[in-house]
Amino acid sequence: MKNKLLTMFVVLAILMSVFVGSASAQAYSAHFTTSITYVNVGAAATTALNLFFYAAPDSTTPTEYALPALDPLAAGSLFVGNLDNTIVPVGFQGDAIMESDQPMLVTLVQIPMDQPTVKNRALSNGFGA
């Protein structure tokens, strides 16, 4: 009985890995863009609110993008796909860091472009150091 149960579990695990593998392969061939929403949860207006884009994970020289100042409890958003190609070039695979002099809540959503079969919208939140 234990052998049959173990065999069924192994077969089920193999089948699940086949489905997961094909889905992730489809997603990785897709092109994504990012939308960033942010809220100033500090007690004062921001005087410095910037995004720094690093072209590669090991890059040390960022491209700076200044965002408009935000009053306390005010929100803003940025669709990265609308930025100039000199800031975020097509095919960008680097990193971005938001810097502010007030505490911020930040959420980003990655949206698949030109891929009607990709249904996921990857979501993540920003955290302080």
Q: Three-state DSSP class for 99? A: strand
Cβ proximity of 67 and 40 under 8 Å: no
From first to last of its 129 residues, what are the pLDDT tens digits of the chain?
Answer: 544 444 444 444 444 444 444 444 444 577 778 888 999 999 999 999 999 988 877 778 899 999 999 999 999 999 888 888 888 888 788 888 889 999 999 888 887 877 777 766 677 776 665
Q: Where are the domains positioned within the chain?
A: 31-125
| Residue 49 backbone phi and psi in degrees, to 5 | -140, 110
* Fold observed for domain 31-125: Hypothetical Protein Tm1070; Chain: A (2.60.290)
Which residues face 99 on adjacent strands?
50
